Amino acid sequence: MKTLIGKKVGMTQIFDETGKVIPVTVIEAGPCLVAQVKSVETDGYNAIQLGYGDVKESKLNKPEKGHFAKAKLDLKKHLREFRMDSVDGVNVGDEIKVDTFVAGDRIDVQGTSKGKGFQGVIKRHGQSRGPMGHGSMYHRRPGSMGPTSTPGRVFKGKKLPGHMGRVTVTIQNLDVVKVDLDKNAILVKGSVPGAKGAILKLKTSVKA
C-alpha cells in the first residue's frame, strides 16, 4: 500500500490532451519519514507511522521529542499511522516522497472537514422548510418531537439542530492526475476534505 501525508494547497483546473477541463486539488505531499514500524509480533498489527513537516524543538513536548530521539530522526510536526498488510522492507528512517504515486493511481484522501458551527435541520440534515407565508407560523423548525405521554421522551438519534462539520471524512477513489516531484505536489481530480492548509492522509484506494 502506498501512503503519504500532505497539506491541502487549494483547487485549480488543468486541461488534458483533448482540451477537456479537469478540476483538481493541489496537495503538497511529503517528503515523509518513517518514524515507527509496528508488526504483528510486537504490536498485534502491521502499521507504519509517518512524520511530516519540520518543526522547532520548542514546539514539541518531552514525550514527542523522546519518540524522535529514540528513532534518531529529525523532529516532525505531524505524525500519522497507516495500517498495512505487510511491513516487510520498511525501516525506521526511510524517506517517502511524492513519486511513490504516479498519474493514473486511485487513492483515498482523509482529512477533517470544515467546521460550520451550530446549524439547523435544513442545512445540517437537508430537511424541507414549511410554508413561508406569514400565517403558517412554521418555517425552519425541526418538526414534531414525537409521542406525548408514552414513552414521554425523544428517541435517541432524532435529527435535530447542532454542531455541524469538523469531523473526519474520507473521500474514496480519487484519480491522481499529475505528480510534480520538484514541487512535492500531487494533483488529485475533484475535491478533498478540509480548508486550505489542512493536513491530509493519502493512501492507495481500498476499492480501486
Phi, psi of 73 (to 5 degrees): -125, 160
Q: Bridge-partner residues for 193, per DSSP? A: none
**Spatial separation of the C-alpha atoms in residues 104 and 16, rounded to whole Å:** 13
Which tens digits make up the pLDDT trace of 5-16?
999 999 999 998
Query: Taking residues 26-35, what's their average pLDDT?
Result: 92
Q: Is the pLDDT confidence value at 129 over 90?
A: yes
Tell me the chain's radius of gyration from C-alpha atoms: 23
Cβ neighbours of residue 13 closer than 8 Å, sequence gap 6 or more = 21, 22, 23, 24
Q: Which of 116, 105, 115, 100 is nearest to 6 (CA)?
A: 100
Query: Taking residues 83-93, what's their average pLDDT?
Result: 89
Q: How confident is the model at residue 37 (pLDDT cuts 50, 70, 90)?
A: very high
pTM: 0.84
171, 192 Cβ separation under 8 angstroms:
yes
Query: Taking residues 116-138, what's their average pLDDT?
Result: 94
Q: How confident is the model at residue 154 (pLDDT cuts 50, 70, 90)?
A: confident
Task: Kindly state the cell numbers that stand for 97.
Answer: 516522497
Which tens digits make up the pLDDT trace of 169-197?
999 999 999 999 999 999 999 999 999 99
Which tens digits make up the pLDDT trace of 102-123?
999 999 999 999 999 999 999 9
